[in-house]
Amino acid sequence: MTKKLLFLFDTDPVPSVFDTVVGYDGGADNIIGYGGVTPENVGALVDGCIYTRGPKEKQYTAIFVGGGSMTAGEAVFKAVKKRYFSNFRVSTMLDSNGSNTTAAAGVALLAKAAPLKGKKAVVLAGTGPVGMRAAAMLNIEGAEVAITSREKARADAAARAIEERFGFAPTPIEAVDNAARAEAVKGAQIVFAAGAIGVPLLDEKDWQNDPTIELIADCNAQPPLGVGGVEATDKAKERHGKIVIGALGLGGLKLKLHRECIGKLFDSADQLFDCENIYAQAKELA
């Protein structure tokens, strides 16, 4: 039987252990990881994937592009796709920093809890990989999206990058501290916290009595959490009259989604998994 080979192209110096484990759990027989992958050096790696197996066996070779930077991952993903031609291609997935699968799980669970169309959404720490993808997925659901950053220049740059990739520009907001972020979420119905591990973004007092906020998702599982008053295990739990989702509450769906997408890579040799179809898969699983 032809082995299912998953090649992990990581933009960080060392390939991700997390992505390796989930790759095996998703059905790969062997995972070969490369660190420090760039658009300049990825060509030879891609050639090794597309020239070694016949047409009927190519579906058992797949590529996963990861690493901590979504910008770097997108550049490598683009370079990989550019190398393909005719039937010389293999299925490929982009999930830098788990951004597509994490954001998809969070937004899919919010959409399951309540319609998002026409609602105002604020993505706290929206300039990172998860935040940028969450902004895109909230837009897919028809929400009016804003992203925050401690630096206006970073918020502006992220908004431009999102517009270039998805054709819409979220409103960039400078929010240097919790007080500023509390001001930023006023009038919003949806709050999506996508900050780094252990970085608090919003105090409980700043949302618990807010008459507008309806839905909250927090991607940070390590104390202190991103949103005060939300427990990591919350999964569409009502707190202070709001529906809240914690990092572990969405984590189960994230892992299931990640594994599901890995498995589907081996169904054929011509699939590309990125934001839109990963989110569509998340909605089915949710």
pLDDT tens digits, residue range 183-193?
999 999 999 99
Q: What residues contact residue 3 under an 8 Å CB cut-off, 6+ apart?
A: 29, 30, 60
Determine how many CB atoms are found less than 10 A away from the CB of residue 151.
Answer: 12
**pLDDT exceeds 90 at position 196:** no
What count of residues does the chain have? Answer: 286
The answer to whether residue 177 scores a pLDDT higher than 90 is: yes
**Cα 202 from chain centroid (whole Å):** 21
Give pLDDT tens digits for 37-52: 999 999 999 999 999 9
pLDDT of residue 198: 87
**pLDDT, tens only, 231-254:** 999 999 999 999 999 999 999 999
Mean pLDDT value across the chain = 97
CA distance 203 to 49: 49
**How far apart (Å, rounded) are the C-alpha atoms in residues 36 and 18?**
17
Torsion of CA 140, 142, 143, 144, to 10 degrees: 100
Packing angle between helix 275-285 and helix 99-113, nearest 10 degrees? Answer: 50
Q: What is the mean pLDDT of residues 59-71?
A: 95
The model's pTM: 0.95
